[in-house]
């Protein structure tokens, strides 16, 4: 039995959770759009061709924001091809597919309304520039009386889309990116594009491209140079990170959440260095707008080129993957003071928590559940959690705590939710937490445990499939191991390799 502990005190908080932390990502890649969110003729399709079974799962998952239309796709995208009655099919070199553009900006805006999510749009700064970004913004957001805004009305949308969040390109530091450019060039282009877009719509939130991942050779230097050029013109810098188990090394993989925290802290340090250098009062926040588990394969192994909506990146996730995703959600919450937007990539079929079959069912992957629980219960103020925990030596990240945890307090109800991952594969963990400081006049005897749900399985490789869609799902933990509070101390036994959600209330 491993043993770990921490103390909860509402006087020590990280910051308020921005609801946009629970975002996702829809890119024109593989079957994310076609036979994912959009499949006219499907038995569950509505009048717009949107799959209602997918919409139901998106709402259940608690997604608040969706980034669109890419991703690598956006760096060669011509938005005009996807509006109006005549759509133009194009070769899509980023993912070696044929893009029909039958689902475009208007369809995405309508889908976002149906799903109840806030749209986050990316502009093409790969093959295009300032003028094309301004044209797209005018089409999307201007009320009327100009060529492009009137064209939107002519296409059936008299009301503007009102998109507030915009990404200034995608992964422009990457050699694989169409239109890749060095930091100095991108920083000038991002600043010029941001200034022009704000002339049209001053209330926008703008995201500059950070490094594509932590191990990029230009990481840190890229952020410094881009922000030095664009600091006054943008609100956020982006982070992207994907993790996977390699070489049958689950210990390193389960430490991904800690690696994610290191990444966040390094970017925060760089942002604040530029702030000090430029002598600015404003702080740049973070948009972690791509993150997930991704088992990458070479493109030639995935599909023949130049197909419409080929089956690409359709990972099937295990219990181990789901626990790792839980750790990544904990990492985001633990840095809620600076991470204001986050998008799990992607939403449907492509490295996704939701899977579909053309003409068939939709179901939840194992990774669906930690996200849904975090989105439901992770609202409020993040309390500072500093666990005392045993550690494990990992090949990839060195010494890592076996307990990864955070807690979120809803000030209105007083409910506190503890999110905890036991990374140990060799046994359960007894968790004790001093919660006496959570006593209030309304609950002088302290809070009680409302529920303790756990995601675990005897087989760490267990997966949800079309044939068995509920193999891996949260279950209430009952009996002697279930969480309980006695004398102001919370005690719970966390199963090995598990994601736990413990809710405390009156």
Q: For tokens 């419409």, what's the residue?
A: 308
Q: Which of 27, 245, 290, 453 is catalytic?
A: 290
Identify the sign of the CA torsion 160, 166, 168, 170: negative
The DSSP letter of residue 213 is: S
Of 226, 120, 240, residue with least CA distance to 171:
240
- As a whole number of angstroms, the distance between CA 284 and CA 286 comes to 7
- N-terminal to C-terminal alpha carbon distance within the chain: 30
The whole-angstrom separation of Cα 95 and Cα 300 is: 11
| 339-345 and 285-293 strand pairing | parallel
Looking at 256-336, list the stretches that DSSP marks H as alpha helix, in order from N- to C-terminal side. Answer: 256-278, 299-302, 319-334
- 175, HSE (Cβ side, Cα atoms, 13 Å): 3
Burial of 297 (0-12, 13-18, 19+ CB in 10 A): exposed
| Cβ atoms within 10 Å, residue 220 | 16
Backbone phi, psi, residue 115, to 5° = -85, -15
Question: DSSP letters along 136-188, please?
Answer: HHHHHH--SSSHHHHHHHHTT--S-----EEEESS-TT-TTSTT---HHHHHH
Only one residue has tokens 């990839």, namely: 396
Cβ atoms 430, 1 nearer than 8 A: yes
Let me know if 159 is exposed, middle or buried by CB neighbors in 10 A (0-12, 13-18, 19+): exposed
Q: Which three-class secondary structure string do you get for 84-125?
A: CCCCCCEEECCCCEEECCCCCHHHHHHHHHHHCCEEEEEECC
Give dist(CA 251, CA 466) in Å, integer. 29
Active site residue 290: yes
The rounded distance, in Å, linking the Cα atoms of 425 and 427 is 6
Residue 82 is given by DSSP the state G
CB count within 10 Å of CB 350 equals: 26
3-state secondary structure of 463: strand
Which stretch of DSSP H or E encloses residue 441? none
How far is CA 29 from each of CA 36, 73, 501, rounded to the nearest angstrom?
A: 10, 7, 33
User: β-strand 118-123 against 65-68: which pairing, if any?
Assistant: parallel
The catalytic position among 39, 92, 132, 171 is: 171
Catalytic residues: 171, 290
């Amino acid at each position: 039995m491993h043993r770990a502990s921490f103390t909860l005190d509402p006087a020590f908080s990280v910051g308020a959770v921005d609801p946009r932390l629970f975002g996702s990502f829809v890119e024109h890649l593989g079957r994310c759009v076609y036979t994912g969110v959009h499949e006219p003729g499907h038995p569950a399709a509505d009048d717009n061709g949107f799959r209602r079974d997918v919409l139901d799962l998106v709402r259940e998952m608690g997604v608040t924001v969706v980034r669109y239309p890419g991703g690598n796709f956006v760096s060669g995208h011509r938005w005009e091809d996807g509006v109006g009655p005549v759509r133009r099919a194009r070769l899509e070199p980023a993912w070696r597919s044929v893009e029909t553009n039958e689902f475009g900006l208007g369809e995405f805006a309508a889908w976002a309304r149906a799903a109840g999510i806030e749209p986050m749009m990316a502009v093409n700064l790969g093959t295009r520039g300032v003028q094309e970004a301004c044209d797209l913004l005018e089409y999307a957001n201007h009320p009327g009386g100009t060529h492009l805004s009137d064209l939107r009305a002519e296409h059936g949308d008299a009301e503007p889309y009102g998109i507030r969040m915009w990404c200034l390109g995608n992964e422009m530091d990457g050699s694989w990116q169409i239109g890749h450019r060095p930091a100095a060039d991108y920083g000038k282009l991002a600043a010029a594009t941001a200034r022009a877009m704000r002339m049209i719509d001053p209330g926008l939130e703008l995201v500059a491209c950070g490094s594509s991942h932590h191990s990029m050779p230009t990481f840190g230097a890229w952020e410094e140079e881009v922000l030095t050029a664009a600091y006054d013109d943008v609100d956020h810098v982006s982070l992207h990170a994907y993790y996977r188990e390699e070489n049958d090394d689950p210990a390193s993989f389960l430490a991904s959440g800690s690696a994610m925290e290191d990444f966040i802290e390094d970017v925060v340090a760089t942002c604040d260095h530029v702030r000090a250098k430029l002598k600015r009062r404003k702080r740049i926040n973070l948009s972690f707008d791509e993150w997930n588990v991704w088992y990458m394969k070479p493109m030639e192994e995935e599909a023949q080129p130049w197909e419409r909506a080929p089956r690409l990146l359709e990972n099937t996730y295990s219990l181990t993957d789901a626990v790792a995703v839980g750790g990544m959600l904990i990492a985001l919450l633990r840095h809620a003071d600076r991470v204001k937007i986050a998008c799990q990539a992607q939403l449907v079929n492509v490295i996704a928590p939701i899977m579909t079959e053309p003409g068939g069912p939709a179901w939840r992957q194992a990774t669906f559940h930690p996200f849904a629980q975090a989105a439901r219960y992770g609202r409020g103020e993040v309390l500072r959690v500093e666990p005392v925990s045993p550690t494990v030596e990992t090949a990839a990240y060195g010494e890592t705590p076996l307990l990864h945890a955070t807690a979120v307090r809803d000030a209105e109800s007083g409910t506190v939710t503890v999110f905890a991952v036991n990374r140990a594969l060799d046994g359960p963990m007894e968790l004790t937490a001093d919660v006496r400081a959570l006593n209030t006049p309304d609950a002088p005897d302290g809070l009680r445990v409302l529920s303790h749900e756990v995601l675990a399985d005897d087989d760490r490789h267990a997966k949800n499939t079309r044939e068995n869609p509920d193999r891996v799902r949260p279950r209430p933990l009952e009996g002697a191991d279930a969480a309980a509070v006695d004398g102001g101390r919370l005690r719970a036994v966390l199963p090995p390799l598990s994601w736990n959600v413990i809710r405390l209330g009156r």
